[in-house]
Chains A and B, each alone.
Chain A
Amino acid sequence: MGAKDLNLYSMLFAYLLLLIPLGILIFMQVKLVKETIVSVLRMSIQLGLVGIYLKYLFVWDNTCLNIAWLMVMITVSTFSVINSNGIRRRDFFLPVMGALAISLFFNISYFNFFIVKISDIFNAKYLIPISGMLLGNSLKGNIIATNTFFDYFKNREKEYLFTLSLGASREEALRPVVRECMKRSLKPTLASIATIGLVSLPGMMTGQILGGSVPTTAIKYQIAIMLAIFSTMAISIFLVILFLKNVSFNKYDVMKRNIFIKGEN
């Protein structure tokens, strides 16, 4: 049993849904028409390719290939975090990628082994979609956390330097900054965890119900996935800040000036 397939006409009708929002954008002269079309095209092409790719990935179900695909996902996420901060790839690629990869591999392995209890924790059908959900959510959190970190140094570096001059070590002076990063990045997820079921029925649950699972199974998966998302986020944010702290400062504990690419800072 599975969800009903959508034929060409169905998809056409789906794309027709764009007409009204596009009409509104044109009417209100909001300059987002081009961006909307480009975004939708990108989504369609990306998902189309992934659809083909996943089809084979699920059929072949080769551990090395599955892990390679995870690495592609992590790499794309890493660039996304780095670009959102305007920092140099050379310095930050490994720290950011390390944080995302460690957190993801730990959580996905735990999820598949202890919660879903499958013998092959790298089984494509579980590994790829669940990793996508974990990574997608921690990506948002990592962007907020790293932006908060670098914005602090762009706007409030004086506070940090004054704290250093009062005898604080780098670690002590950074403590309030790290707390702020964690707080700001985790709050939105906590808010969505708290309202889940009341406001939204999340994608995974909807998908499972459409796919034929009984609602109680779907709900159990949803609870587990939300907890795993929170864990992946918290661990990756903690690690990314920990690693950033190690590469962003000079020997005098002052933030390096050359870590930002031109045009930033």
Chain B
Amino acid sequence: MIKVANISLSFADKKVFENLSFHISRGEKVLLDAPSGKGKTSLLKIMMGFITPDSGEVHISGQLLTAHNTKVLRSKIAYLPQDIAFPKMKVIEFIKLVLDYESNKHIKYNENQVWEMLEHLKLPLSILKQDTLSISGGEKQRIGILIMQLLNREIFLLDELTSALNSELKEFIANYFLQMKQTVIVVSHDEIWQQNSIRKVRW
């Protein structure tokens, strides 16, 4: 599903990591386990094409990530950071705006599906009418998850997603992702992800 081959990255002559290689299979749950400052978040951003590494390759679904196919490969990935930044508008308007992007046009807005997902994510229906700036961090993240699910993303990159949540919500979110069939890659200092069912990639 994802192959990272001999990737090196440095910022202003400071080496972040060197010749990093690993492979992640479809449906696997993986925790990137490295000390702070060792470029875990940067690695997720490299997979998204937000940062270009000094050398090395990333393959997603068997395709080498290049400038030409970034958009296509990005559309397979859900990148969810801790502080998801929504533009200011009503939640429902934002969901519809996303579905209106040219590359998402084939996905139709299905009210029943959204309601079911809200329930599954323990969110009230009324949240759809709320302003994106007025909802809490935990709610924002779950709306982010909901949208990515609507977009049928195959790979989830979670960047400290649960860090600011209370323990109950942490557990709920962790279980949510561990039970899904999609591939999940986690960067987190939370104990909750230190489980046996999650493979650790260390450097």
Binding site for B on A (CB under 8 A): 156, 158-159, 161-169, 172, 176, 250-254
Contacts and interface: CB of A to CB of B under 8 A. Distances in A.
A161 to B, nearest CB: 6
Interface residues of B, number: 27
13 contacts: A156-B85, A158-B81, A159-B86, A159-B87, A162-B84, A167-B98, A167-B104, A169-B101, A172-B102, A250-B67, A252-B49, A252-B67, A254-B51
A164 B74 contact: yes
A158 B86 CA distance: 9
Nearest to A251: B67
A163 B103 CA distance: 12
A252 B73 CA distance: 11
A167 B74 contact: yes
Contact of A161 (B50, B67, B104, B151): B50
B182 interface: no
Contacts of A176: 87
Contacts of B54: none
A76 B48 CA distance: 41
B52 interface: yes
B26 interface: no
Q: Max chain B CB contacts within 10 Å: which of A164, A167, A251, A252?
A: A167
Contacts of A252: 49-50, 52, 67, 70
B85 A253 contact: no
A165 B48 contact: yes
Interface string B118-143: 00000000000000000000000000
A156 B87 CA distance: 10
Given A161-B50, A252-B50, A169 B85 contact: no
Contacts of B48: 161, 165
